[in-house]
Amino acid sequence: MMKFKVTLAALLATTLSAGMASAAVDTYDYTDAAALVDFGGSSSNSNYFIPPGNSPTDSPYYRGSGEDWGWMHDAIPGASSSSEIKLNVSNYDVDDACGSGPCEVDNIFGYDAAGNGGAGEWLLIGALTGQDNAYSFTEFTLDTALYDDVETGLKLWMDIDVLTAGWIVTLAKSVITTAGESPGNPNPGAQVPLPAAGWLMLAGFGGLAAMRRRKSKS
C-alpha cells in the first residue's frame, strides 16, 4: 500500500507541474458578479455581458457612446511568469470595416497598477474587430506591463464608439488565456474550455484507476 501511495503522489505532482502552473483560462461573462471599475472619473458597477437567450440588440447589453463600462477578471496565480498572455473579447457585429462613413472604434483598456510611477494608469490594449451579425473574438496580446495585474486580477474598461458615430456594441464574454490555451466558443453561455492542465490531471486520475485495477487483480 505504501508503494501505491508514493506512486500516487509522484503522478499527481508530475501532472500538476506539467501544466497547471503555466496554463490557465479565466472567463468573465454574465454569470460573474459586477466589479467596481473606475476609469478617468467614470465608474461602472454593472455586468453588461449578455446572457444566452437574449437578442444582441436588447437593452441594457446593446450599448453606445456614453455607456462605457468595465469589469475585473479573477486573479491568475503565476501569470507574471508567463511567456505570453492573451485577452479575447467576444463582441457582436462590430463594424470596423467602415466603408464611406466613420469607422466603429471601441477601445479596450487595461489597468496597470504599477504604472505612472506607482500611481497607476490605464493602458490602451486595442480596438475591437468583428463579423457581420455574429459573435466573434477579438484577440489581443497583452503588454508585459499588465502581467502582474493579471496575477492579481486585471481590470478592463471599454470606451464605446470613440468617434461618436452612432455605433452600438454588445459583449458576450472576456477571456484571458496563458500558454496558448483556447478561449473557446464566442457565443453567450457557451461552454468554457478545460485548460490543458485539467486534461492532464484527468489523464493522471485515469492512470491511477488503471493502476488500482491491476493491483487488485494481482
Residue-wise pLDDT for 188-213, tens only, equals: 987 655 555 554 444 444 544 444 55
CA dist., res. 51 & res. 14, Å (int): 38
pLDDT-derived band at 132 (thresholds 50, 70, 90) equals confident
Q: How confident is the model at residue 148, as a pLDDT?
A: 97
pTM reported for the whole predicted model: 0.80
Q: What is the pLDDT of residues 77-127, one digit of tens each?
A: 999 999 999 999 999 989 877 767 788 999 999 999 999 999 999 999 999
- Mean confidence (pLDDT) of the chain: 84
Q: Residue holding cell 462590430?
A: 94
Q: Is the pLDDT of residue 20 over 90?
A: no
Q: Is the pLDDT of residue 135 over 90?
A: yes
Q: How confident is the model at residue 93, as a pLDDT?
A: 87
Q: Residue holding cell 474587430?
A: 129
Q: Is the pLDDT of residue 218 over 60?
A: no
When comparing pLDDT for 98 and 168, which is higher?
168
The 3-state DSSP class for residue 11 equals helix
Tell me which residue of 102, 79, 84, 90 sits closest to 165, measured CA to CA: 102
Q: Are 161 and 106 in contact (CB under 8 A)?
A: yes
CA dist., res. 88 & res. 147, Å (int): 15
Q: Are 122 and 40 in contact (CB under 8 A)?
A: yes
CA dist., res. 115 & res. 16, Å (int): 33
Q: Is the pLDDT of residue 10 over 90?
A: no
The DSSP output letter for 118 is G
Q: How far is CA 110 from the centre of its chain?
A: 12
Cell numbers that stand for 55 in this block = 437578442
Q: How confident is the model at residue 95, as a pLDDT?
A: 86
Q: Is the pLDDT of residue 30 over 60?
A: yes
Range from 1-15, 33-47, 109-123 that averages highest in pLDDT: 109-123
Cα dist. 214→8, 39, 69, 172, 209 in Å? 14, 60, 56, 47, 9
Q: How confident is the model at residue 97, as a pLDDT?
A: 74
Calculate mean pLDDT across residues 61-79: 97
The 3-state DSSP class for residue 67 equals coil
Q: How confident is the model at residue 213, as a pLDDT?
A: 52
Q: Residue holding cell 494481482?
A: 218
When comparing pLDDT for 216 and 70, which is higher?
70
